[in-house]
């Protein structure tokens, strides 16, 4: 019999993740899996459980939680000789990776999708020595988004990020960044740099409309100016899927990017606080196999 491990973050989805465990077990058992459930209690638990699943040659690992739980789970697949197929039940604030793969955002529907026979190989990103699932952001705005508490995420959803972003825009803080890619270097003042693996970032599914989950590329944006008035036109461009053509945005694609600064600059990785600059980014093409909807 095939083996499936369910890794569940009990604080996800307004602390409702536990309510879906039995349904997930029933679907997986009906698909021929023997199921083990692991519940995270702190940072790093999802990675440790996933490493265990790799070592014990599980066939499937299911992450029930938000992008942070998914980020940790996927880091357990780094450089492993055996990598289980990944199933996703999104229960976070924005669930960008699930959006990009058209995995249902309604938990009951996502659980039914676990029995789908269709899989897709997808890219992963590497930040220094760790993996990321969806997006890395650097700059003052990225740092402020990392300060959003789990309570506010559950209570306000995406509005929690929006509130922090507006507060930071009022400060008009920018940093001098040096960004190198494909033998080219850009240096200038910027409040925000974004490197995305998929089309969906922060719940905006049109930020990088040309991005595909298996194109092997980082889709990068350097925002040169984001004062409060200019943020209106940037927001309109974002909603229309035209951010790359905004006059104060530089867009490029690359397989490797390095970002550094002479100032202390924080990063945000898959919605959580990341390491300070300098950082190195690269892609790992088609690294993980994910269960996706049949249609």
Give the range of the structural domain holding residue 154, as residue numbers without chain letter.
135-285
Q: Out of 56, 108, 151, 272, pick the active-site residue.
A: 272
Task: Answer yes or no: is 248 within a domain.
Answer: yes
pLDDT mean over 108-125: 97
pLDDT band at 167 (very low <50, low <70, confident <90, very high): low
Both 78 and 151 in one domain: the answer is no
pTM of the predicted protein model: 0.83
As for how many domains the chain has, the answer is 2
pLDDT mean over 144-158: 48
Tens of pLDDT along 36-91?
A: 999 999 999 999 999 999 999 999 999 999 888 999 999 999 889 999 999 999 99
Task: Answer yes or no: is 51 within a domain.
Answer: yes
Task: Answer yes or no: is 157 within a domain.
Answer: yes
Task: Answer yes or no: is 101 within a domain.
Answer: yes
Task: Answer yes or no: is 251 within a domain.
Answer: yes
272 is catalytic: yes
pLDDT over 80 at 204, yes or no: no
Whether cis (ω within 30° of 0) applies to the bond prior to 108 is: no
Of 48-52, 95-99, 171-175, 186-190, where does mean pLDDT reach its minimum? 171-175
**Higher-confidence position of 13 and 75:** 75
């Amino acid at each position: 019999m095939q083996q499936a491990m369910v890794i569940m973050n009990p604080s996800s989805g307004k602390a409702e993740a536990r309510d879906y465990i039995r349904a997930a077990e029933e679907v997986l058992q009906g698909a021929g899996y023997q199921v083990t459930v692991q519940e995270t209690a702190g940072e790093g638990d999802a990675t440790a459980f996933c490493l265990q699943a790799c070592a014990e040659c599980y066939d499937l690992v299911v992450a029930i939680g938000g992008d942070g739980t998914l980020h940790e789970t996927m880091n357990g697949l780094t450089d492993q000789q055996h990598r289980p197929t990944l199933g996703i039940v999104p229960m976070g604030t924005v669930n960008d990776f699930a959006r990009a793969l058209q995995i249902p955002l309604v938990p009951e529907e996502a659980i039914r999708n676990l029995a789908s026979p269709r899989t897709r190989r997808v890219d992963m990103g590497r930040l220094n020595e760790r993996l990321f699932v969806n997006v890395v952001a650097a700059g003052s705005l990225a740092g402020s988004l990392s300060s959003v508490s789990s309570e506010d995420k559950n209570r306000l959803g995406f509005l929690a990020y929006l509130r922090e972003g507006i507060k930071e825009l009022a400060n008009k803080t920018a940093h001098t960044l040096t960004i190198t890619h494909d033998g080219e270097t850009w240096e200038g003042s910027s409040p925000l740099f974004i490197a995305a693996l998929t089309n969906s970032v922060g719940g905006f599914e049109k930020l990088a409309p040309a991005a595909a989950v298996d194109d092997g590329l980082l889709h990068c944006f350097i925002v040169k100016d984001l004062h409060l008035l200019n943020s209106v036109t940037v927001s309109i461009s974002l909603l229309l899927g035209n951010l790359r053509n905004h006059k104060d945005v530089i867009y490029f694609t690359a397989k490797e990017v390095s970002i550094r600064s002479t100032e202390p600059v924080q990063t945000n990785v898959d919605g959580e606080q990341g390491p300070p600059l300098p950082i190195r980014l690269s892609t790992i093409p088609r690294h993980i196999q994910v269960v996706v909807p049949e249609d």
